[in-house]
Amino acid sequence: MLVIFNPVAGRRRAASLWHVLDLLVENGVKIEVAETQYAGHATELAREAARDGAFMVVAAGGDGTIAEVANGLLGSETALGIIPLGTANVLAKEYRLSTSARGIANTLAYKRCRRLWPGVAQLQGQTPHVFVQMLGLGFDGAVVKGVRPLLKRAIGKGAYVWQSLWESVAYGFPLVRVTVDGMAHQAASVVVSKGRLYGGPYLLAPEAHPEAPGFQVVLFEKPGTWPALLTGAALPLGLLPRCPGVRVVSGSHVEFAVPNEGILTQADGDALSATPCGVISAEAPISLIVG
């Protein structure tokens, strides 16, 4: 079993990783660990393993690392296993995967699969970016870009809360123009979601089906400090989809207009270097090991 480990992911929970691996080895599983050396390396390692016919490749890291490995497995029969080591681990929560060391080891040992259908963000003149959980433009992108790595390592999700409070005052709220299946919308912030959850266990898009192609596009229509604070307060209460000014639309083709250029964007909790011009579903799903 190849385990692709991102040593800079999350809060550097290497100890949790070794605990899972010890349990697997005790059960007779042969393991090879490959540490990523740079951003994008996980995709190359996973693609190579899939080309060699591996049954399963395990991503050990945050949702960004999982997305990179998923990218490398697209178009192959190789299944994706995950050892969640990130701060929010939204994908693991979406699929209700165990996060205890023993639970993770059991999940990987049982090898039962469910489909996971990634999204693909198209970037002008750059390689498309594959994501597994969500892509956010606007306020959301500004929060992820602004989070200080040291603070994230020290207080985990609290760093996002702090940055959201800061951005609710500092962010300029330029309008994001988006077309979903031909219908034009504009909003202060847009999240294109594969899953139901956001920021951990919190409800964002109740109608989402991560096993199928297509998206839920969440439009935060009201710009400004107070709407941002209101939605921030509604999130942990599970009330975000019912907040005034929040609208969720379903679609399979999402396009962002050219005036969006420069609007900060995040995918699976990592800042993107460019604003996407569109989002489509991957050509086929991959198999996710769920135990």
Ligand X SMILES: Nc1ncnc2c1ncn2[C@@H]1O[C@H](COP(=O)(O)OP(=O)(O)OP(=O)(O)O)[C@@H](O)[C@H]1O
The residue ranges that bind ligand X (CB under 6 A) are 6-10, 36-39, 41, 61-65, 68, 86-88, 269-270
- The whole-angstrom separation of Cα 215 and Cα 192 is 6
Nearer to ligand X, 239 or 274 (CB): 274
Nearer to ligand X, 88 or 240 (CB): 88
At its nearest, how many Å lie between ligand X and the CB of residue 223?
26
Nearer to ligand X, 71 or 275 (CB): 71
Give the contacts of 69 (CB within 8 A, at least 6 positions apart).
4, 42, 43, 45, 46, 57, 59, 80
At its nearest, how many Å lie between ligand X and the CB of residue 71?
10
- The whole-angstrom separation of Cα 110 and Cα 89 is 21
At its nearest, how many Å lie between ligand X and the CB of residue 43?
9
Give the contacts of 196 (CB within 8 A, at least 6 positions apart).
94, 203, 204, 205, 206, 207, 208, 210
At its nearest, how many Å lie between ligand X and the CB of residue 259?
27
Nearer to ligand X, 54 or 267 (CB): 267
In angstroms, how far is the first alpha carbon of the chain from the final one? 15
At its nearest, how many Å lie between ligand X and the CB of residue 81?
15
Nearer to ligand X, 85 or 178 (CB): 85
At its nearest, how many Å lie between ligand X and the CB of residue 3?
14
Nearer to ligand X, 163 or 251 (CB): 163
- The whole-angstrom separation of Cα 66 and Cα 89 is 10
Nearer to ligand X, 214 or 269 (CB): 269
φ/ψ (deg, to 5) at 150: -65, -40
At its nearest, how many Å lie between ligand X and the CB of residue 180?
26
Q: At what angle do helices 101-110 and 14-26 cross, to 10 degrees?
A: 50
Nearer to ligand X, 87 or 260 (CB): 87
Adjacent-strand bridge partners of 223: none
Residues making up the chain, counted from first to last: 291
At its nearest, how many Å lie between ligand X and the CB of residue 5?
9
